[in-house]
Amino acid sequence: MSDSRGSIHGEWSSRWAFILAATGSAVGLGNIWKFPYITGENGGGAFVLVYLICIAVIGIPIMMAEIMIGRRGRRSPINTMRVLAKQGRHSPHWKYLGWTGVVAGFLIISYYSVIAGWAMAYVFRSAGAAFEGATADGVASIFSELVSDPERLIAWHSIFMVLTMIVVSRGVASGLEKAVRYLMPSLFVLLLLLLGYSMSTGAFMQGVSFMFNPNFSALSGEAILIAMGHAFFTLSLGMGAIMVYGSYLNKDTSIAKTSITIALADTSVALVAGLAIFPIVFANDLEAAAGPGLIFQTLPLAFGHMPGGTLFGTLFFILLVFAAWSSAISLIEPAVTWLVETLHMDRVRASVYSGLAAWLLGIGTVFSFNLWSDVTFFGKTFFDLLDYLTANIMLPLGGLAIALFAGWIMVRGTVKEELKLQHPRMFQLWYLLVRYVTPVAVIIVFISLQG
Ligand code: TRP
């Protein structure tokens, strides 16, 4: 079986192009919007510690596995799984793993786009100087006014989805690379600026201690599941997004180094975002457990009180939208590549159909913040349920299956050849992690939740 062929969907121009695209996928709303609010809801330090452990022991090995599988298969995740399983003389039913990934990505983008829409709305709030001299109450009411208006949310959600589908329909490699190269570092610089502001609030140490002082009595079994789920979410793992990107990767790139670089970049963004936000929370007597609105109710206070805040705030939200956009692309890419390969649709049509379907589902999330805010399933709103189901259940299970696939289904020699780790010890360590540690860890977290 030939493995030197390229992907029919194109290839990255270099190792850096891949790193940038994968970092663009990883760094997004998950780091800046979700990480702070779930940290706040789950008591801080101990939660952050579990999250960091999950990144190191589960996230990095699974990222390596996904890239390795993708580069070996060179197809959409569904077809890659089918072909590689066959090569190992296993059942082609492994392709259903590719399927669940497509479904998970599709469900996630439906609400991701709605939240990205909030960030877009905030570009204009900020540019209109709405945050100047703002008070905590003022900022809270700007937020609740926005989310209580389904029409505005749908408008922003639609614009974001269209922007995403435009890039996807043209093929992900073009354009993305340059944009990520400049815009991601700029976003990081603005986060550092916010960090500087937080240091001046007088509550900086309180924020640091909230994030890094573990109080294990505050850690529930469910919090552990959420921390683990977030490790998958933030690194874009468990549904084939990184696998698809890996399928466009050239043969000589070191998968291990690349994965570690991406994970470090992603984690730094999340930690800096948290360190910027929590001091603002404590300095203004806000609620750390405020939920999904947290960054929208804290960061405007910083921009409202720093010199040049209107400009910096506008830039920050523009860059946040951009970060969300480079992530959203990878959420829908597995579905689009599959439609192209299997139903022989052209890319534009495949993008339009999948975007339209995800857009429709997103309306449910829009309504869950207003018209349907009282409608709950298992005590969760539509948005909460979708988020919980995807991030905390589908992605870890997908990751578990990916680990099993790399560790037990693929031929060991193939895996070793594809990873090309320089030290044999490194291979043994990684193999141990994906064969035993990761699957057992995921299963234990699930089981302990039942108890
Ligand atoms: N990692 C992105 C974020 O943190 C979201 C994301 C993009 C994602 N692609 C994914 C999450 C694939 C899970 C799977 O914002």
Residue 389 Cα to ligand 1 middle (Å): 14
Closest atom of ligand 1 to CA, residue 104: 14
Ligand 1: which of 327, 332, 397 to mutate, most ligand atoms within 8 Å of CB? 327
Could you report the per-residue pLDDT of 14-26, keeping only the tens digit for each?
888 888 889 999 9
Asked if residue 207 has pLDDT above 90, the reply is yes
Find out whether 286 and 136 touch, Cβ atoms under 8 Å: yes
Residue 351 Cα to ligand 1 middle (Å): 18
Question: What's the mean pLDDT when you consider all of the chain?
Answer: 92
Asked if residue 270 has pLDDT above 90, the reply is yes
Position 5 scores a pLDDT of: 58
Could you report the per-residue pLDDT of 407-424, keeping only the tens digit for each?
999 999 999 999 988 888
What is the CATH number assigned to the segment(s) 15-450?
1.10.4160
Asked if residue 78 has pLDDT above 90, the reply is no
Q: CB under 6 Å to ligand 1: residues?
A: 25-26, 28-31, 105, 108, 233-234, 236, 239, 241, 327, 330-331, 395
Residue 306 Cα to ligand 1 middle (Å): 31
Asked if residue 176 has pLDDT above 80, the reply is no
What is the average per-residue pLDDT within 225-230?
96
What is the average per-residue pLDDT within 289-300?
96
Could you report the per-residue pLDDT of 346-403, keeping only the tens digit for each?
999 999 999 999 999 999 999 999 999 999 998 999 999 999 999 999 999 999 999 9
Asked if residue 3 has pLDDT above 80, the reply is no
Residue 329 Cα to ligand 1 middle (Å): 9
What is the average per-residue pLDDT within 283-289?
94
Residue 111 Cα to ligand 1 middle (Å): 12
Closest atom of ligand 1 to CA, residue 323: 15
Asked if residue 175 has pLDDT above 70, the reply is no
Percentage of the chain exceeding pLDDT 70 = 97
Residue 132 Cα to ligand 1 middle (Å): 32
Assign 157 a pLDDT band (cuts: 50, 70, 90). Answer: very high
Ligand 1: which of 27, 33, 236, 243 to mutate, most ligand atoms within 8 Å of CB? 236
Residue, of 231 and 74, whose pLDDT is higher: 231
Residue 313 Cα to ligand 1 middle (Å): 24
Asked if residue 1 has pLDDT above 60, the reply is no
Could you report the per-residue pLDDT of 303-327, keeping only the tens digit for each?
999 999 999 999 999 999 999 999 9
Asked if residue 174 has pLDDT above 70, the reply is no
